[in-house]
Amino acid sequence: MKIIARPPAFTYIKNHLHADRVPLSHLAEKHGTPLYVYSASTIRERFRTFDTAFKRIHHTVCYSVKANSNLSLLKMLAKMGSGFDVVSGGELERVLAVSRQAARKVVFSGVGKTAAEIDLALKADILIFNVESESELDLLANRAAKMKRKARMALRVNPDVFADTHPYISTGMREHKFGVPLHEVGDLYTRAAARKYLDVAGVSCHIGSQITAVDPFAKALGRVADLVRALQANGHNIRYVDAGGGLGIPYKDEEAETADFSAKSGAYAEALRNALGKLSVHLLLEPGRAIVAPAGLLLSRVLVTKQNGKKRFVIVDAAMNDLIRPALYSAYHSIIPEQWNPMQSSAQPVDVVGPICETGDFFARDRELPALKEGDLVAILDVGAYGMSISSNYNSRMKAAEVMIDGSSAKQVRKRETVKDLMRLES
C-alpha cells in the first residue's frame, strides 16, 4: 500500500516519521502521547504564500484564531504582520496577550457578542466589528456611546450563496443564523450612520468553511461588491470589504499528493480580485484551516488490537475528546504509522478508535493500514486546525500536550494537563 506523509512538515527519514528534522518517536518518549505536533516552518511558509497571492490588492490577512489559538502560534503570526479574526472575548484576550499592537488588525466576528466583550474590544481599539443583527447594532452603538469611543463597523451580509461543504460549517444561506439578509442591509446602514459613535466602514461576508472551489467565493463577493457600490453611491464611506475565510485543504491522500497551495491561493486571490472589479477598498481575509491544518498532526500510541467477528479494531490512546472532527463531521483524516518500511506492502482494513465509552469515538472505519501492534505509534494528519481548539475533558481525560517544531528544535508550547488541573476550579 502507499503511505503518504505531509511534506515538508512531515516526512519519513530512514523509515521513521519526522517533524521537520525531529523524530516523532523522540517526542513521544519525552512528552508522552497523545501529543499535538506542529511545524513552525510550514505555518510560516503557508502564511507567506497566502499573503503573497494578494500582493496586487490592498489587504490584511486576519488569521482565524478559532482554528488554533495556541499562544506561541499567535505570537509567531503577529511577528509576521498578521491580523486576527476573533469570535469571542477570550480569543481577543489571547491576541492581546501576545501583542497589544495586534489589536489594530483585529476583526471581531460572531453572532452573539456580549456587552463585556464589546467593551473589551472598544478599549483595545480593534480594527472593525462585524455586526450580525439589528439588536447587535444597537448594543454596539450604546456601548460605544457610553465609553465615548468610536466603533468602526461592518454589517455581515448573508449573500444566500450555496457552498458545497458539510452543512454544519456552511454559513452563507438564508436559513443560517449568520449575517443580515441582503434586502435588509440598506435600512440598517442608514440607522448605523445616524449613530454618533458608529463609523460605518465596511461590508463583511463569510459563506462557510472547508470550501475547495473558488466559484462560491467569487459569487458571494460579487454580490457584496454590488452592495458596496450602492452604499457608496448613497454617501456611505465604505473602505473595507471582509471576504471571510473558508478556503479548504485536501484531507485525502490522493488529493494532498497533487495539491499546490501556491496555485490554489493564486486562483482564490484572482477570483476575489475579479469579483471586486475596480472598487477602491481594503480587503480583509480570514484564513485559518488553510494556514495551519497541514502543519499539525496528532501522535498516538496503540493500546490494544482486537478482533470482534470480522471486525478488527486498533484502539489508540487518543480519543474523540482530543480530536472530535471524525465523530462530529464524519471528517476524513489520513492515519499513518510512525515506522514504515515501503517494502512491506501488506495491509488490512481496521477501525482506528479511542478508549472513550462512545461508539462514535473513532478516527477511521475500515481503513487499509499496515499491520499495527500494541505499543506502535501512529500519526493522525492535518489536525493543525480544529483539533486542539475543539478538544475537551470528556470522560475526565486530560488535554494533550502541544509541541512546536522548527527545524531541529522542539519546544513544548502547552503542557499536558493533570488531574489536579481538571479539578482546580471545582469545589
Tens of pLDDT, residues 295-333:
999 999 999 999 999 899 999 999 999 999 999 989 999
Catalytic residue selected from 357, 366, 375, 408: 357
Nearest one of 71, 66, 73, 150 to 108, comparing CA atoms: 66
Q: Is 357 a catalytic residue?
A: yes
- Cis peptide leading into residue 181 (ω within 30°): no
> Which of 83-87, 209-213, 341-345 is least confident?
341-345
DSSP conformational letter for 294:
G
CATH architecture, range 10-39+294-423? Beta Barrel (2.40)
Q: pLDDT band at residue 178, thresholds of 50, 70 and 90?
A: low
The pTM of this model reads 0.93
Average pLDDT over residues 175-188: 74
List residues bridging with 240 in a β-sheet.
202, 282
Tell me the CATH number for domain 109-287: 3.20.20.10
Could you tell me the residue ranges of all domains in the chain?
Answer: 10-39+294-423, 109-287
| Residue 122, CA distances (Å) to 15, 193, 198 in order | 53, 18, 11
Written as one letter, the residue type at 362 is F
Angle in degrees, 0-180, between the axes of helices 215-233 and 182-193, rounded to the nearest 10: 40
Q: Which residue, chain included where needed, has cell 512546536?
A: 404
Q: pLDDT band at residue 54, thresholds of 50, 70 and 90?
A: very high
Nearest one of 14, 56, 10 to 36, comparing CA atoms: 10
